Amino acid sequence: MTGGGAGTNSSSAPGDSAATSTADGAGTVPQVAGHPMPALLGEGTDPELVAWRERLPAHVEELLQRWELRASAPFVPGGSSAWVAPVTDRDGAERVLKVAWAHEEARDEAAGMRAWQGRGAAALYRSERVGDTSALLLERVRPGVPLAQLLTWPERDEVLVNVALQLWKPPSELEDVGLEDAGFEDAGFADPQAERAAAKDVSEHASAPEACGFRPLAHMCAWWADRALEEGGGERAGLPREVVLRGLELFHTLPAGWDGEEVLLATDLHPSNVLAGGTGSARRWVLIDPKPYVGDPHYDLLQHMFNDPERLRTAPGPFAERMADLAGLDPVRLRRWLFARAVQEAGTMDAAAEAALLLTADAGL
């Protein structure tokens, strides 16, 4: 989950940089589509994930046959709850197939990706959900290098905010996204007309997202805050009890206290989930792996900040002010969000406890 120490891991990286083949399939490594399952995917011990993983090979084979795809070796390290591999379709076009465990946070990934077509997300050609399994057929981003491997941290701040500003729209403005608005002609494809026609053909299999289908941010925050209180991570990390209670109270109340426009959020927006497409003046930045919720845009800057633990540990207040300024948001409110999230993550995410203490001292939180 994004709030449980997901860090920089992303469950797909549909570009050349991640297309390293896995180790040979010696021993008991399960095979999926004729290739060893990536080690990270095989590590999870959640009983529901384990049961899903046992069904994964058959599900992938069925999808490949029904969608007429041919798979290569999966991307590594990949993700902890998704199998992601480069594929070619019946016409020889390069795509990426993501077959994922549709856990609570990732439930609306496909709907979010479809809502954001032409607005900063990788092109989505086809999707479905069957039971606890979701499948997405995505654009193969080239060169596909994550932002985390490019530029300096200050430059990454600017890129990430520019991506976020494309995404932050009310669901009512996104639910009627049509194929003519999907942005294929701006995506840098070799044959945009053919790409758009192919996308139109396969997109008939997936309905446009409805605003009411996206859950409120308050839903996720309440879940995380309650779990953090039960597990006692903040106090184990050395935070005073009053700081823990204040931070978790804020994590509960901040979503409901937002009186601005509620927008569709990625919630897992960080440099490993933003890929470079094209080069030079033609470069574009492409979102992957969102976990969509609707709510306060201030929240969507947090995961990026937690992916830079050095700044978070030494200067969380100025870091929040910089990000708020870039995004045109309220720096005081972003500080409060950062404090609440730091308390919630204390004991599980690097630098969280230190940031919480500094923010408490700086702003009297």
Dump pLDDT digits (tens) for 298-313: 999 999 999 999 999 9
pLDDT at site 21: 40
CA dihedral 293, 94, 43, 292 (to 10 degrees): 0
Q: How far apart are CA 161 and CA 33, in angstroms?
A: 38
Confidence of residue 27 (pLDDT cuts 50, 70, 90): low
Res. 202: pLDDT tops 70:
no
115 and 217 both lie in a single domain: no
Supply the DSSP string of 175-233, one letter for each residue.
Answer: TT--GGGS-GGGTT-S-HHHHHHHHHHHHTTSPPP-GGGSPBHHHHHHHHHHHHHHHTH
Q: Is residue 11 part of a domain?
A: no
Q: Is residue 292 part of a domain?
A: yes
Q: Is residue 243 part of a domain?
A: yes
349 and 324 both lie in a single domain: yes
Res. 15: pLDDT tops 60:
no
Q: How far apart are CA 196 and CA 200, in angstroms?
A: 6
62 and 188 both lie in a single domain: yes
Confidence of residue 24 (pLDDT cuts 50, 70, 90): very low
200 and 219 both lie in a single domain: no
More confident residue, 99 or 19: 99
| Token reading at 239 | 């935070």
The residue to which tokens 């995505």 are assigned: 138
- Under 8 Å between Cβ of 104 and 129: no
Res. 242: pLDDT tops 90:
yes
232 and 108 both lie in a single domain: no
Confidence of residue 104 (pLDDT cuts 50, 70, 90): confident
Confidence of residue 105 (pLDDT cuts 50, 70, 90): confident
184 and 303 both lie in a single domain: no
Q: Is residue 193 part of a domain?
A: yes
Q: Where do the DSSP E strands lie in the chain?
A: 31-32, 35-36, 70-71, 82-88, 94-101, 124-130, 133-139, 143-146, 263-265, 274-277, 284-287, 293-295
| Token reading at 15 | 């570009």
Q: How far apart are CA 148 and CA 308, in angstroms?
A: 10
Q: Which domain holds residue 226?
A: 212-363
pLDDT at site 363: 61
225 and 141 both lie in a single domain: no
Is residue 76 within a helix (H) or strand (E), and if so which, with residue range? Answer: none
pLDDT at site 152: 95
Res. 11: pLDDT tops 80:
no
Q: Is residue 286 part of a domain?
A: yes
pLDDT at site 213: 81
198 and 318 both lie in a single domain: no
pLDDT at site 201: 42
Q: How far apart are CA 336 and CA 120, in angstroms?
A: 28
Q: Is residue 159 part of a domain?
A: no
Q: Closest Cα partner for 17 from 270, 275, 273, 304?
A: 275
Q: Is residue 2 part of a domain?
A: no
pLDDT at site 107: 86
Res. 277: pLDDT tops 60:
yes
Q: Is residue 166 part of a domain?
A: no
Output the average pLDDT for the chain: 84
Query: Which SS3 state, helix, strand or coil, does residue 246 take?
Result: helix
Q: How far apart are CA 40 and CA 77, in angstroms?
A: 6
Domain C-terminal end among 205, 220, 243: 205
pLDDT at site 178: 37
Q: How far apart are CA 202 and CA 125, in angstroms?
A: 6
pLDDT digits (tens, 9 = 90+) for 111-155: 999 999 999 999 999 999 999 999 999 999 999 999 999 999 999
Number of domains in the chain: 2
256 and 276 both lie in a single domain: yes
195 and 232 both lie in a single domain: no
51 and 195 both lie in a single domain: yes
116 and 232 both lie in a single domain: no
pLDDT at site 236: 84
- Under 8 Å between Cβ of 26 and 33: no
More confident residue, 311 or 20: 311
